[in-house]
Amino acid sequence: MNQKLFFGIITIVSIAGIFVACGEGEINSFNADDQVAAISIKSSLDEQKSINACQANPECLEKLSDVPLPTSSAELPPSSSVEPVISSSSISVPPLSSSPIIIASSSSVIAPSSSSIIVVSSSSIVPEGGIAGTCAPTPAVVELGDSVKWTFTKGASVPAHEIMAASFDWVFEGGSLGEFSGTGAAATSKTTTYNTSGSHAASVSINETTPTVCAPVQVNGAKITGCECVVDNASPDVAAGGEAIWSVTGCSTTANISGYSWAGTPAAPTTTFAHTFAAKGETFTPTLSVYNDDNTVQPVVCPEAKAVDATQPDYLLTFAENKVDPVFIDVPNGACITVSGTWTDIGHIPPVKILCDLLDAQKACSMSMSYGATSNSLQGSYSISNLTLELGNASSNFVGSELVCVEFTGGSAARCKLGLY
């Protein structure tokens, strides 16, 4: 008996010691004041169900009084059918017992249920009206039967949760999928195909508002192939008028070519395009689209032209007193050289020539020179020397009618000089 009493006293003292070690005060169960952060977003939110569930619980209802609520007469279904609704500012915690668990966050009100955790975010209500953004096809030009993905891209200031809660009603003009409706991020894009050629439009209505019109997709019919665009003078001289002329050749199609659109102009049966440059250093590259009568529009890439000015040379080679000074100049790729001089010996009038070597030539290298419509080029391995271009006969006041332009690959610079012989 004494032993039982002794062990009973020891047990009581031990339990009391545990309470002393843990501190004084009341130990409460988890309540709505406890914070839990970073819950993963669920694709849709049912605010009214959550609010009704919260009002049915005294502890949650007390917290609900400080939160602005949307007006609704919706009734909450039985707790066993309530779907979890999750806010972006909390993390879910599994129930520790069969008792209700209320999880509160800085932007949420949570109603308990015997079978679920419900979170209502104050910032997740679907806004009235649409959502700012744009929509476009990928790719923008396709062939018949190809797939086209239409995508709505929200504006930078639109919160992600508005997309998650929004409805999207798509209309695809001429597409194999004529219409599509959905909600959330998964509905911001949809893929369809086209069996008719031409330009096809699409639109998307967000939250049943006025549709946003997308950039159109071009569905080509009979293919256009073989087009080549060239320019007659890649370095037009503004001192000599500064005009460059582009032309297109070689286009082929099983339909009929119906026109050419240069630099955004309406399609017309014009295979050439001219541009006049106003100042040295100005660059211009025309856009070109070729059309046929099967609704095909084929973009064609044209080369760039850059204006020079012979009166303001970047690189100059001269001769005088019936001789050429042994002067070399090093020019970078794409540079142009002005040539001028005087020659008074009428008994001997030699041709004016320019000669260039490639510096730091690599295993595979090439170099070309052009002077108006005249050109010359060489290819080499570790060396290109004395690439020569004749500019015409020397005269008492020789000024090259065009600039000599140099292009190369596999080297660091072109070293050039004049020759009269």
Q: What would the two tokens of residue 344 be?
A: 């008074």
CATH architecture for segment(s) 224-306: Sandwich (2.60)
Could you tell me the pTM of the whole model?
0.51
Task: Tell me, yes or no, if the two domains 133-220 and 316-420 fold the same way.
Answer: no
| Domain boundaries of the chain, sorted by first residue | 34-66+79-124, 133-220, 224-306, 316-420
pLDDT band at 30, cuts 50/70/90? very low
With H, G, I as helix, E, B as strand and everything else as coil, classify residue 383: coil
DSSP 68: -
Where b means 16+ CB within 10 Å and e means fewer, 37-51 reads eebebbebbbbbbbb
Quote the pLDDT of residue 263: 95
SS3 per-residue string spanning 247-301: EEECCEECCCEEEEEECCCCCECCCEEEEECCCCCCEECCCEEEEECCCCEEEEC
pLDDT band at 325, cuts 50/70/90? confident
Backbone angles phi, psi at 215, to 5 degrees: -65, 140
| Domain spanning 133-220: CATH 2.60.40.10 | yes
What digits encode the pLDDT tens for the residues 182-198? 999 999 999 999 999 99
How many angstroms separate the CA atoms of 223 and 216, rounded? 19
> Mean pLDDT lowest for which of 308-317, 357-366, 384-393?
308-317
Quote the pLDDT of residue 193: 95
CATH architecture for segment(s) 316-420: Sandwich (2.60)
Question: Is 354 a residue whose pLDDT tops 90?
Answer: yes
What digits encode the pLDDT tens for the residues 198-207? 999 999 999 9
